Amino acid sequence: ETGVTQSPTHLIKTRGQQVTLRCSSQSGHNTVSWYQQALGQGPQFIFQYYREEENGRGNFPPRFSGLQFPNYSSELNVNALELDDSALYLCASSLGLAPQETQYFGPGTRLLVL
């Protein structure tokens, strides 16, 4: 186990709804990254937070937004859900931004949009 937890584990929503996913980073880690993994694909980078500030964003529309709290836990919010948003959402925490810092992934939240 990596010490990174995510909630909920599974979620079913309908098109047009909004969802909030949560991530608790490993103790002492100040950097959280969010990834979307569709079935049979590798994870795709959504955005990253470092010390409560967004530090880079992937090719995702503005209806994907996030937040990092003073304790470095993080939220991913998705508005106006679409069927294609169905995926495994992963968060990863690390101790800083350097590439040498190992990223520890949580177990993910499986989102199904009907």
Partner 1 sequence: SQKIEQNSEALNIQEGKTATLTCNYTNYSPAYLQWYRQDPGRGPVFLLLIRENEKEKRKERLKVTFDTTLKQSLFHITASQPADSATYLCALFTGGGNKLTFGTGTQLKVEL
Residues within the interface to partner 1 (CB under 8 A) = 2, 4, 31, 33, 35, 40-45, 48, 50, 55-56, 58, 88, 90, 92, 94, 97-108, 110
Which residue, 82 or 101, is less far from partner 1 as judged by CB? Answer: 101
Distance CA(94)–CA(14), nearest Å, equals 33
Q: CB of residue 23 vs partner 1: minimum separation in angstroms?
A: 11
Which residue, 10 or 16, is less far from partner 1 as judged by CB? Answer: 10
Which residue, chain included where needed, has tokens 């590439």?
A: 99
Q: CB of residue 42 vs partner 1: minimum separation in angstroms?
A: 3
- DSSP codes joined into one string, 58-100: -S--TTEEEEE-TTS-EEEEE-S--GGG-EEEEEEEESSS-TT
